[in-house]
Structure 1
Amino acid sequence: MDRTGTSRWLRLGQHALLGVLALVCGLRAITDGAHPLAELTALAAFIGWYAAGPRLAGKGGGGTVWFVGLTLLWAVLVLVSPENVWLAFSLWLLAGHVLPLLPAVIVSLTVFVVVALEPVRATGEASFAAIIGPFIGMVVALGVAKAQQALVRDGIERQRLITSLYAAQEESAALTDELARVQRAEGASSERTRLSRDIHDGIAQGFSSILLLARAALSEHDPDRLREILRHVESGAAEGLEESRRVVGALAPADLDEGSLTGAVRRVTERFAQESGVAARVVVTGSLTSLPTTAEVTLLRCVQGALANVRTHADAHQVVVSIDETPDSVRVDVVDDGRGFDTEVWTATAAGSPKDGGYGLRATRARLRELGGGLAVESAPGEGTALSAWIPLSHTAKEYP
């Protein structure tokens, strides 16, 4: 169904043209001596059948039947009076609309023959003007009708494209909303993972240190040593409070605020040695280049987690923390001489509930893998433990603009 305004105005113009032609032909026919009743009756039948066209055209094949009936009524009008031949122009217009091109041309030529021969039947004479004029009118009418059809088709296609465009825009908006929802969900999940890692590697380890110091204080009888332990507890609590604020604000660990990764590792190691009484030292190999904050945070968290495990589980006497830069990676090793453990048993149980232990190493390995690195743990009962974490320099370089 055509909804274009241009086509509607063209149809109204066509109806007006037929009305004017019917009025002129009726008046001229009666003036020329045609029987008024016959003229008016035939003209009314023609106009009535024309008005019934839209309803009949909606049925299968109804348009062709309607047009044939209209042509026959026109032929009756021509028999009533030759003046009615002028209604042929409306027939030519309709032929271009109702019929395919070839049938429309055939029917139009048939009507043209009637129009051209009618003066001969009425007067017995023929003229060039009586032939060329109707012929030009027929060609123009068919051309206008087919052009109007093309205009209507273009309008319908344009309307269809606009509708499709609106539908595509609505679908795109729906997909955008869905994508935003998925991204928000992924962002929330990623943020929860980050917070869980930061809480475990920073705040929880601080609480673990405070807990061990508090237990040591309960069994301590030397007042000077007790005051020293309380100072460590106070310092650890203050650092834990500051760390918790930084985790909420998604900032780097406090130890990284005062310098590079090397300095932060030295401070963490020294604090570990003071609080635990375990001899600890840091060995740096090579001139460590400046790393992105993400890489420094990840490696520092590895050291913090490893030292917390040494304090809690290893019963070690010495710990060595090594920082080594190779041409293609940065590596941090934490080696202790403690009791060690069976790595195969740990691997089998680490996949269980977080309360069973092993979350720290799993979280550390996940952090490193996100940066293209990895984590290796070597240990055996009675032989100490060696933890090695690395990040490729090629990956850290991508984080710089």
Structure 2
Amino acid sequence: MIAVVVAAAVLAVDSSALAARIGSAAAVLGIVGVHFAVGRHLIRADRESVVLMGVQLGLFATAVTLVPNANWLLFGVIPLIFQLVPLRAATIGVIAANLVLPVSNLILRPGSLGMDLVIAVISAAGGIWLGYFITRVVAQSRERQRLIDELEKTRAEVARLSREAERARLSAEIHDTLAQGFTSIIALLQAAEPDIDLAVRTARENLAEARSLVAALSPAPLASSSLPSAVRRQTDRFHEESGVPAGFRVTGDERALPTAVEVVLLRAAQEALANVRRHASAHEAAVLLAYTPSSVRLVVRDDGCGFVPGAADGYGLSGMRSRAAQVEGAVTVHSDPDTGTTIEVEVPA
């Protein structure tokens, strides 16, 4: 818009010769044409071009040399320079643009040189300051956009990890509750003398676990009783289903624990007892829940055939370790054929 106004003013108002006015207006419109043909695309692509700045300055110098009043185009040329090249090159370009009129007048019209120099200094200083300010604003805007983009990526990654963690949690819940419950029901019904009543009770408990899982509540055994009571019931159920004698003992001062800690300990007891039933061929088992001032330990022992720790870690033990890690706890496994297996889960509480 500035270029069009300056071109029109040069043609209509200026007192210079007609040929000079036509040439000056053509140079001004040439700046517009080059900008729309090349410059605008480079600016949008965030690409710099010293060559293009030189072309635009050459057209501007032509226009001002032919008609001094075309110098008003500085208001449009200075911002254009800062869009085309880095700050240092733009500073040189602005100084060069402001020197066009004094230099041309020094050669062609020496009488007006003094005022031209004053105006050039003021214009250059103002243009450089404005360009620096605009450059800083653009840089800050780009940095903000970069931070926003990184934030969006981070939020997307957090959402993805959250979904994966939730899937892992649900997988562990299903493995520790429903899958074990169904395994127990099948074993009870396939026995030589099926225990229908116990199978029905196990199925009902499994249904309660399923409803609790869907409702995203704490495990059903913890919803209506304390942790020791829930672990004792799991021990008694193990004895009923497997026929293996199992003792349960609590030491230390029982106290309320965070729900997350209670869930970890209860699920660990369920998994450890399920492993004894399925793999140990044990004659006896024992469960200990020990409260200390700084932690709570769950210990499950059996006198079965044992295994090599690490070599036989299935989903159950890895899930147990993963659960314990979520509450900064640890799982320790000791096992050999002579003494059986001891699984210990300790969590700070």
TM-score, L = length of structure 1: 0.63
Bigger Rg, which one: 1
Within the alignment, does 1:341 sit opposite 2:306 as a pair? Answer: yes
Within the alignment, does 1:188 sit opposite 2:184 as a pair? Answer: no
Equivalence map 1:134-213=2 (5 Å): 139=115, 142-144=117-119, 147-148=122-123, 174-213=149-188
Q: Displacement of 1:232 after TM fit? A: 1.0
* Amino acid corresponding to residue 214 of structure 1 in structure 2: L
Equivalence map 1:67-82=2 (5 Å): 70=66
Q: Displacement of 1:67 after TM fit? A: 5.1
Residue 47 of structure 1, aligned match among 8, 17, 21? 21
Contact 1:64 1:99 in 2 (8 A): no
- Aligned in 2, Cα 1:43/1:98: closer, same or farther, shift over 3 Å? farther
Contact 1:95 1:104 in 2 (8 A): no
Measure, in 1, the Cα distance between the counterparts of 2:185 and 2:62: 100
Contact 2:24 2:62 in 1 (8 A): no
Q: Which whole-Å deviations, capped at 9, do the CAs of 1:1-54 have from their partners, x for residues lacking one?
A: xxxx7xx28x847964885462xxxxxxxxxxxxxxxxxxx8323433433443
Instruction: Give the secondary-structure state (helix, strand or coil) at the position aligned to 1:213.
Output: helix
Q: Displacement of 1:293 after TM fit? A: 1.1
Contact 2:301 2:343 in 1 (8 A): yes
Please name the residue that 1:268 is paired with: 234
Contact 1:93 1:145 in 2 (8 A): no
Measure, in 1, the Cα distance between the counterparts of 2:158 and 2:69: 64
Please name the residue that 1:232 is paired with: 198
Q: Which whole-Å deviations, capped at 9, do the CAs of 1:168-213 have from their partners, x for residues lacking one?
A: 5665555444434433332232122112211111112212222232
Equivalence map 1:358-369=2 (5 Å): 358-369=314-325
* Amino acid corresponding to residue 183 of structure 2 in structure 1: S
Instruction: Give the secondary-structure state (helix, strand or coil) at the position aligned to 1:282.
Output: strand
Contact 1:213 1:275 in 2 (8 A): yes
Measure, in 1, the Cα distance between the counterparts of 2:330 and 2:158: 27
Contact 1:365 1:374 in 2 (8 A): yes
Unaligned runs of 5+ in 1: 23-41, 72-88, 116-133, 221-225, 351-357, 394-401
TM-score, L = length of structure 2: 0.71
Q: Displacement of 1:162 after TM fit? A: 6.4
Q: Displacement of 1:349 after TM fit? A: 4.2
Instruction: Give the secondary-structure state (helix, strand or coil) at the position aligned to 2:17.
Output: helix
- Aligned in 2, Cα 1:312/1:93: closer, same or farther, shift over 3 Å? closer
Equivalence map 1:306-317=2 (5 Å): 306-317=272-283
* Amino acid corresponding to residue 361 of structure 1 in structure 2: L
Q: Displacement of 1:269 after TM fit? A: 1.7
Q: Displacement of 1:157 after TM fit? A: 6.0
Contact 1:333 1:389 in 2 (8 A): yes
* Amino acid corresponding to residue 363 of structure 1 in structure 2: G
Instruction: Give the secondary-structure state (helix, strand or coil) at the position aligned to 1:206.
Output: helix
Q: Displacement of 1:112 after TM fit? A: 6.5
Measure, in 1, the Cα distance between the counterparts of 2:211 and 2:252: 34
Measure, in 2, the Cα distance between the counterparts of 1:275 and 1:63: 96
- Aligned in 2, Cα 1:340/1:63: closer, same or farther, shift over 3 Å? same
Q: Displacement of 1:389 after TM fit? A: 0.9
C-alpha RMSD over aligned residues: 3.9
Contact 2:298 2:344 in 1 (8 A): yes
- Aligned in 2, Cα 1:46/1:322: closer, same or farther, shift over 3 Å? same
Measure, in 1, the Cα distance between the counterparts of 2:71 and 2:307: 100
Measure, in 2, the Cα distance between the counterparts of 1:232 and 1:92: 99
Within the alignment, does 1:371 sit opposite 2:327 as a pair? Answer: yes
